[in-house]
Each structure stands twice: as C-alpha cells, then as structure tokens.
Structure 1
Amino acid sequence: MKVYLVRHGEPSYTPCTQRHLKGQGRDLAALNDDGINQILTTTMPLLIGNDAQIILTSPYTRALQSASIIAAKTGLITKSVHDLHEWIPDLTFNYTSYKELKAIYQHFYEHKGIKDEIALRDEYAVWEDIETFRDRVNSALLPYYGLYSSVIVVAHGMVIQSLCGRHIGYGEVFQMEFHPDMKFPEWQFTAPKIETHDLKISYHESLLKNKADILDEQTK
C-alpha cells in the first residue's frame, strides 16, 4: 500500500496553556495561521496528482484540521483512526509544564524508549515505550492494507519517524510503501527538539496582556 505521510501544520498551544489544560488536554491545540498556510502552500503542491483513495488521520485537533484542509482540496473522504495519535509522553496524563515534558522526553531518549529495570526506577518513566508505540502505529494501518492501494496519512512527527525513520517538518510529505511484514527502520535516538509554542506563557500574564491590548485600543 502506497502511503503519503503528511505531518500536520504548526499548532498554537497558547489557548491550552491559558486554560491550564494538562496531558492530552493539550492536544486540543489547533493550527495557528502559519500552520494553515503550511498545509496550503507546502503540503498541497506535494500532493498534486497523487493517486490516494482516502485520508487517514490522527484524532488530535492539529491533525484533523490539517486533514480537513487536504480533504477540501482533494475531495477525498477523511477517516479518523484513533491509534494514529502521537507518542504519549505521559501515560498518567498529568504533565502540565514545559519543564516536565522536557524531562520526560530526555528520559525516553536516554533509555532509548525501553522501560528496563533501571529506567523504571525514575519518576519520569511514565512514557509510552517504543515497542508499544510502534505496534500501535502498525496496527492502526493494517486494516487498510488490501482495502486501498494508496492512502494519505496525516499524523505527527514521532508517528512518521516510526514508519520511515526520518524527521519531517510541519506540512511536509514523505512517500513510502506499507505492508504487513515491513521492517521498521532503526530509530534515531538523538536529542529531540521540544517545540514550546508559548508553553511558558502563564494564564495571568496572558490576561494582563489582553487587558493592556484592550486599554490600548480604547485610547486610540
């Protein structure tokens, strides 16, 4: 099965931070203006003339929104596939800060995604292990093998890396062949780039900024 892997556009986590959302609550983040433009100007030209029959997408907002733009341009049906969601950094779904998230990522990479006895001694061993993650992604695509000869998959950085072995940017496309007996590429355990997207802006700071903007408008 031919697969066009598409990474979603850039999201904005500011509304999630302002509302003190934690864990997967942060995955309600939608695309910012740059993210929408990335799908329109980067993704769509790379999909011109493709032979995809359906769009399969992660259920997270940033992926669903990206898929909806592609669907509007291609006329393809979109199907949300639960297990195409991103790697889970915290299986307790309790992380609230950039500092916590960064520590969890670093712990995952230090232990190469394996929860051995040493890794489990640490409080940061709350992440989804690499074998479980890859099995989940593989199982998400298997039902469509044989049903379709070509699909677009809109997903996330680590989901895409698990399938093709490389990191791609927002809105970029990578074409690959998927089959049940495929061998996963070796995972590149290099220090990850944590995209903060204003994670450090507090709710109080945001309110002050909004109030200042309103006062500024009133004095014009």
Structure 2
Amino acid sequence: MIIYLIRHGEPDYAAVKAAGYLGFGRELAGLSKRGRWQAQQAAQDPIFDQIELLLSSPYPRALQTALELSRHQAFPVKVELGLHEWLPAKHGLVTDDQAAAAYQAYRQQPEFCQAPWDYETVGELKKRAVNVFQKYATDYTTIACVTHGELIHQFTGNDQTDFCQIQKISF
C-alpha cells in the first residue's frame, strides 16, 4: 500500500493560550489563516487523484487540513486516534516548557523514556501508527494521512517536514 503522509497546516495557538489551556488543551488549536491557505494549495497536488481514502489525526489542526484537502475530492475521510502527535507526557499535564524539555530528552534517547519524564517512546509511536495502517492495507492501494511532524519523521527519516508537505512511503 502507498501512503502519502501529510503534515497539517500551520497552527494558530492564540486562542488556546488566551484560554490558559495546558497539556492536551493545547492540542485544541486550529489552523491559522496561512495554514488554511497551505492546505488549499496542497489540495491541488495530483496525488489526490489517486487517493482512495484520507485518514486524519483527531487534532483540530489536522482535521481542518483534511477538510481543505477533501473539499473538492470524492474520497472519504476517516478520523484515526492513532495518528495523533507524539506525547510528551502519557499521564498528566505538562506546560509548554516541560513538553519542550521532554522532547529534547526524547530526541536524545527515543527508544527508552528517561526519568523524570513519561514521554511516548519511538517504539510506542510507531506501533500505534502501524496498527492504524494495518487496518487499511488489505482493502486499499493508496491512502493519505494528515498527521504530525514527529510521526512523519519516524516513517520517512526526514527530520524536518514543512506544513502541508506530502511524503510518500510504501507500507
């Protein structure tokens, strides 16, 4: 199966910051005006003529990107929990600074969670995404997934993925 991994458009965290949201509350951010434009531009890519199904992370920035990508296409869109972003804390809330520190620790040692952190390991991240992909491998030849930078990094090896950048993998 061919999978096109697409990073969501540029997010706008102003509303969640103004509301004082921390931890998972921060993940409620939607797209900025530029992020919507990025998704509209990406939707013009000819790969979308081949797509049989579009999967999306449940985070609003990914869902809004998927909405823009599917606006003029006939393929179905399905939300998959396992396509969410890397978790800086599997249990409990963290501040933005704590999440950044946990990410630094993760990047230094992604295979094992270092104390005092409780971040998701690379193995856990990949396993949940593979579980999603396996559900579709027998019924589809070409799908697309709107997801997040770290998940894309683990399947492509590309350290930096721009907003709405499309990367192809074979699964």
Q: TM-score, normalised by structure 1?
A: 0.73
Tell me if the contact between 1:57 and 1:79 (Cα under 8 Å) persists in the aligned partners.
Answer: yes
Give, in angstroms, the shift of residue 80 of structure 1: 0.3
Give, in angstroms, the shift of residue 90 of structure 1: 1.3
1:174 aligns with 2:157: no
1:160 aligns with 2:159: no
1:94-173 pair list within 5 angstroms: 94-96=93-95, 98-115=96-113, 119-120=114-115, 123=116, 125-166=117-158, 167-173=160-166
Tell me if the contact between 2:6 and 2:144 (Cα under 8 Å) persists in the aligned partners.
Answer: yes
1:15 aligns with 2:7: no
Tell me if the contact between 1:46 and 1:173 (Cα under 8 Å) persists in the aligned partners.
Answer: no
Structure 1 residues 179-213: Cα deviation after superposition (integer angstroms, max 9, x where no partner)? xxxxxxxxxxxxxxxxxxxxxxxxxxxxxxxxxxx
**Percent identical:** 28
Residues 93/34 of structure 1: CA separation in 2 closer, same or farther (3 Å cut)? farther
Residues 11/49 of structure 1: CA separation in 2 closer, same or farther (3 Å cut)? closer
Tell me if the contact between 2:43 and 2:68 (Cα under 8 Å) persists in the aligned partners.
Answer: no
The one-letter code of the counterpart of 2:97 is: K
Give, in angstroms, the shift of residue 92 of structure 1: 2.3
The one-letter code of the counterpart of 2:101 is: A
The one-letter code of the counterpart of 1:111 is: Q
**RMSD across aligned C-alpha pairs, in angstroms?**
1.4
1:44 aligns with 2:43: yes
The one-letter code of the counterpart of 1:140 is: V
Structure 1, unaligned runs of 5 or more: 179-220
Rg (Cα) greater in structure = 1
Structure 1 residues 123-144: Cα deviation after superposition (integer angstroms, max 9, x where no partner)? 2x12111111111111111100
Residues 103/36 of structure 1: CA separation in 2 closer, same or farther (3 Å cut)? same
Give the count of matched residue pairs.
170
Tell me if the contact between 1:51 and 1:150 (Cα under 8 Å) persists in the aligned partners.
Answer: yes
1:59 counterpart residue number: 58
- 76-85 or 44-53, which deviates more: 44-53
Give the structure with the higher percent strand.
2
Tell me if the contact between 1:6 and 1:154 (Cα under 8 Å) persists in the aligned partners.
Answer: yes
1:35 aligns with 2:35: yes
1:68 aligns with 2:37: no
1:78 counterpart residue number: 77
The one-letter code of the counterpart of 2:161 is: I
